[in-house]
Chains A and B, each alone.
Chain A
Amino acid sequence: MASSTEVNKTATLSQSTTGAQRPGRFGIYGGRYVPETLVAALDELEHAYAEAQGDPAFHARLDSLLSDYAGRPTPLYFAERLTEALGGAKIYLKREDLLHTGAHKINNCIGQGLLAQRMDKHRIIAETGAGQHGVATATVCALLGMECVVYMGEEDMHRQELNVYRMRLLGAEVRGVSSGSKTLKDAINEAMRDWVTNVRTTHYLLGSVLGAHPYPAMVRDFHRVIGKEARQQIQEKEGRLPTAVIACVGGGSNAIGAFYEFIPDKNVRLIGVEAGGRGPKLGEHAARFQGGAPGVLQGTYSYVLQDDDGQIALTHSVSAGLDYASVGPEHAALHDSGRAEYVSATDEDALAATVKLARMEGILPALESAHAVAECIRMAPSLAAYEILLVNLSGRGDKDMGILSRELKLKGA
Chain B
Amino acid sequence: MSIRFANKPGLVAYLTAGDPDLKTTHAIALAAIDAGADVIELGVPFSDPVADGPVIQRASERALARGTRLADVLELGKELRAARPDAGLVIFSYYNPILRFGLEKFCSAAAEAGMDGVLVTDMIVEEADEYLAYLAKHRLAPIFLAAPTSPDARLERIAAASKGFVYAISRTGITGTQKSLAADAESLVKRLRQYTNLPIAVGFGVSNAEHFATVGEFADAAVVGSAIVALIEKSESADAPSSIARFIQGLRAPAMQAR
Binding site for B on A (CB under 8 A): 10-14, 17-18, 31-41, 179-180, 185, 189, 192-193, 196-200, 293-299, 304, 306, 308-312
Contact = CB atoms under 8 A, between A and B. Distances in A.
Interface residues of B, number: 45
A297 B64 CA distance: 17
Given A35-B121, A298-B48, A304 B96 contact: yes
22 contacts: A10-B102, A11-B99, A12-B99, A13-B103, A32-B127, A34-B124, A36-B146, A36-B154, A39-B124, A189-B49, A192-B50, A196-B51, A196-B172, A196-B173, A197-B173, A295-B99, A296-B94, A296-B95, A298-B48, A309-B101, A310-B46, A310-B99
Contacts of B104: 12
Nearest to A192: B50
Nearest to A37: B147
A297 B46 CA distance: 11
Contacts of B133: 17
Nearest to B204: A37
Nearest to B58: A179
Nearest to A190: B50
Interface in B135-151: 144-151
Contacts of B49: 189
B144 to A, nearest CB: 7
Contacts of B174: 193, 196-197
A376 to B, nearest CB: 34
A121 to B, nearest CB: 14
A185 B48 contact: yes
Given A37-B148, A199-B172, A13 B154 contact: no
A35 B53 CA distance: 13
A31 B98 CA distance: 17
A10 B147 CA distance: 34
Contacts of B124: 32-34, 36, 39
B42 interface: no
Contact of B172 (A200, A295, A297): A200
Given A10-B102, A311-B64, 14 more contacts: A13-B99, A17-B129, A32-B127, A36-B124, A36-B154, A39-B124, A179-B57, A180-B48, A189-B50, A193-B51, A196-B172, A198-B172, A297-B48, A309-B69
B102 A12 contact: yes
A33 B127 contact: yes
B92 to A, nearest CB: 13
B130 A14 contact: yes
Given A180-B47, A189-B48, A312-B47, A39 B150 contact: yes
B172 A31 contact: no
A310 B70 contact: yes
Contacts of B199: none
Interface in B53-99: 53, 57, 64, 69-70, 94-99
Contacts of B96: 295-297, 304, 306, 310, 312
Please list the 7 inter-chain residue pairs (A to B) with the smallest Cβ-Cβ separation, ordered nearest first: A310-B100, A310-B97, A37-B147, A40-B149, A197-B173, A311-B47, A310-B96
B130 A35 contact: no
B70 A309 contact: yes
A297 B96 CA distance: 7
A31 B123 CA distance: 11
A193 B175 CA distance: 10
A309 B97 contact: yes
B95 A33 contact: yes
